[in-house]
Amino acid sequence: MFNPQKNIKLAPYTTLKIGAPAEFFGIIKTKEDLKEAILWAKNNKKTIFVLGGGSNLLVTGRVKGLVLKNEIRGLKILSKKKDYVLVEAMAGESWTKFVNFTIENNLYGLENLFLIYGTVGAAPIQNIGAYGVELKDSFYSLQAINLKTGQEKIFKLADCRFGYRDSIFKNKLKGKYFIYSVTLKLKKKAGLKLSYGAINTELNKRGINKPTLKDIVAVIMEIRNSKLPNPGILPNAGSYFKNTEVSKKDFAALLKKYPQIPNFPGEKKKIKIPTGWLIEQCGFKGKPLGPVSMYEKQALILVNHGGAEAKHVLALVKKVKAAVKKKFGLDIKEEINLI
């Protein structure tokens, strides 16, 4: 029988190591556990919040209702076709373990997404992305369970409305579904994307001109380890903000004032400006405010130097947002999820 614990502190379950207690907290390992938890929440009139690896989360205060930590694991190859293979992962599986599994099976598509923290089930929520590749590029379908009714539903690619760090699960269906499993369509033949970030440069340095999947993940591991703080050493949740998309017209005006402004193509003919650069220009890179700061090597990442609480994070975020607005006239938006 599902029997959640009361008043469990969430900080240890997040990579930022910040978090007040949840009213109720339970760990689920099977679909039966999940169905029982949904029934318990219904009978006790509690809302459910699904927790994966806590690597994209700021717990801003005491969490009312039931926090369900998802540990439903498993990976399997569903079917093999001439050019592609369908692979299904249960939502509580580690994303990195999943990518490793696809690499071991010589399947292409997820290599650039190697070493992203968290669980498979959270990946569609913000359509995770790195080095010019997004989850949606290999997405086939997902199975979800309605958190109120327990009903199961399949979402195909178009249903998920994926965008830049965005999906229907961050908007219209926010908090409505438990993502139970994700199926990806992975290629048997190479279709590598190497031009983004420092991938090509690193491969050249190593004298590799025909990279294998293992070469790519080795290079990505090196790039990520050199740039991103390890949450086990310096707690953080990756990029705190999204990059900032502006219209061509607004970008032209900014370019006149700041000719050195970095940029790359965004969605719907917009231009993306690295928000880390905007924050850096406002003098926040590596500058502490109490126990938190924007990371000294990458100003997009907010780090907890020890003992930080949500109020410290929110105070820094407020200052950063106001400074960027004042200097550039731009509203920067959170990538992180707040509860």
Partnered with residue 77 across adjacent β-strands are 87
Q: Select from 8, 37, 41, 51 the one that contacts ligand FAD (CB under 6 A).
A: 51
Instruction: Assign 210 to helix, strand or coil.
Output: coil
Set 55, 93, 165, 309: catalytic member: 165
Single out the residue of 129, 128, 124 nearest to residue 143, CA to CA: 124
Residue 75 touches ligand FAD, criterion: CB under 6 A: no
CB under 6 A: which stretch of 234-242, 269-277, 315-323, 325-333 binds ligand FAD?
234-242
Provide the minimum distance between the beta carbon of 214 and ligand FAD in the complex, in angstroms, as a whole number. 20
Question: Per CB under 6 A, which of residues 87..106 are in contact with ligand FAD?
Answer: 91
Q: Select from 18, 58, 70, 292 the one that contacts ligand FAD (CB under 6 A).
A: 70
CB under 6 A: which stretch of 45-53, 194-202, 260-268, 289-297 binds ligand FAD?
45-53
Question: Per CB under 6 A, which of residues 5..24 are in contact with ligand FAD?
Answer: 15
Q: Select from 122, 160, 294, 320 the one that contacts ligand FAD (CB under 6 A).
A: 122
Provide the minimum distance between the beta carbon of 58 and ligand FAD in the complex, in angstroms, as a whole number. 9
Rounded CA-CA distance 220/257 in Å is: 35
Q: How many residues bind ligand FAD (CB under 6 A)?
A: 32
Q: Select from 114, 162, 178, 284 the one that contacts ligand FAD (CB under 6 A).
A: 178
Residue 186 touches ligand FAD, criterion: CB under 6 A: no
Residue 56 touches ligand FAD, criterion: CB under 6 A: yes
CB under 6 A: which stretch of 156-164, 235-243, 255-263, 315-323 binds ligand FAD?
235-243
Residue 141 touches ligand FAD, criterion: CB under 6 A: no
In the residue annotation, 226 being an active-site residue is answered as no
Provide the minimum distance between the beta carbon of 256 and ligand FAD in the complex, in angstroms, as a whole number. 32
Give the N- to C-terminal CA distance of the chain in Å, as an integer. 27
Q: Which amino acid is at 197?
A: G
In the residue annotation, 79 being an active-site residue is answered as no
Q: 46 CB contacts (<8 Å, ≥6 apart)?
A: 23, 24, 40, 64, 65, 66
Residue 53 touches ligand FAD, criterion: CB under 6 A: yes
In the residue annotation, 202 being an active-site residue is answered as no
Give the β-pairing of 139-146 and 177-187: antiparallel
Q: Select from 112, 119, 138, 293 the one that contacts ligand FAD (CB under 6 A).
A: 119
Rounded CA-CA distance 253/205 in Å is: 38
Q: Supply angle C-alpha 323, 326, 331, rounded to 5.
A: 80
Provide the minimum distance between the beta carbon of 292 and ligand FAD in the complex, in angstroms, as a whole number. 15
Q: What is the DSSP code string of 137-172? A: GTEEEEEEEETTT--EEEEEHHHH--BTTB-GGGTT
Structural tokens at position 238:
């990756």
**CA distance to 119, 181, 191, 280, 296, per residue, from 128 (Å):** 11, 16, 19, 24, 24
Instruction: Assign 333 to helix, strand or coil.
Output: coil
Provide the minimum distance between the beta carbon of 205 and ligand FAD in the complex, in angstroms, as a whole number. 22
Instruction: Give the containing element (helix H, strand E) for 126.
Output: none
Set 55, 239, 293, 309: catalytic member: 239
Contact 141, 153 (CB under 8 A): no
Query: Which residues are annotated as catalytic?
Result: 165, 239, 335
Residues at the contact surface with ligand FAD, assessed by CB under 6 A? 15, 49-57, 70, 91, 116-119, 121-123, 125-126, 128-130, 178-179, 228, 231, 236-238, 337
